Amino acid sequence: KQEVTQIPAALSVPEGENLVLNCSFTDSAIYNLQWFRQDPGKGLTSLLLIQSSQREQTSGRLNASLDKSSGRSTLYIAASQPGDSATYLCAVNTGGFKTIFGAGTRLFVKA
Amino acid sequence: EAGVTQSPTHLIKTRGQQATLRCSPISGHTSVYWYQQALGLGLQFLLWYDEGEERNRGNFPPRFSGRQFPNYSSELNVNALELEDSALYLCASSFTAASRNEKLFFGSGTQLSVL
């Protein structure tokens, strides 16, 4: 059974700091891994999707990496801003409907 | 292009009543997924519809049901509401279910409160 774990559960950093969010999964047989952002009481916004054959994806200040063999992904946020404050979720797609979500990392960027 | 739309935004019901939540996927998307996000908990998979058929359901009782219409929009029905059904219900859509490069696109959710 696929399990997705995100560490840390919460993180508070000063504005401008670079940071890394971690995601681990137990079964390496995945189709892709997707990182989402969720603001309080809102839906999820897709940030990056990494296919199983890829090692990383970049979008602006965000960079996501994938190491399938070790069951790990990281989301790197450069030069953090207060507007980055949100909960970040990683989700592993094991095929079809089977997208398994982590519990998320709640990020707070202090101005 | 419109994203995934959900209605209503908020819904207040009393215990024992029925709730109906609606979702319109992105144009061209045939797969619709429903998730429940209770306060402090992660997203729990509820139902998956594709091409008008229920393809799979998560570990929820039968009083959670739904359907997908010919235009691929979807409806989630929750019967005999219980207090613990209070949660944010999120709908997502994808172009197909099988591709390795399929992104999930989420709506803003329906906040259901059961009093």
Instruction: Tell me the per-residue pLDDT of A10-69, one tens digit each, with 9 for 90 and over.
Output: 999 999 999 999 999 999 989 899 999 999 888 899 999 999 999 999 999 999 999 999
Higher pLDDT, A14 or B58: A14
CA distance B108 to A100: 19
Q: Does A39 touch chain B (CB under 8 A)?
A: no
Contacts of A43 in chain B (CB under 8 A): 4, 6, 90, 106-109
| A-B contacts at Cβ under 8 angstroms | 63
End-to-end CA distance of chain B: 37
Is the alpha carbon torsion for B81, B77, A40, A36 positive or negative? positive
Instruction: Please answer yes or no on whether A43 and B98 come within 8 Å at the CB atom.
Output: no
Q: Do B104 and A91 touch (CB under 8 A)?
A: yes
Q: What is the largest CA-CA distance in chain A?
A: 41
Better pLDDT: A99 or B71: B71
Enumerate the β-bridge partners of residue A18.
Answer: none
**B22: nearest Cα among B75, B93, B77, B89:** B75
The residue behind tokens 């999707």 is: A49
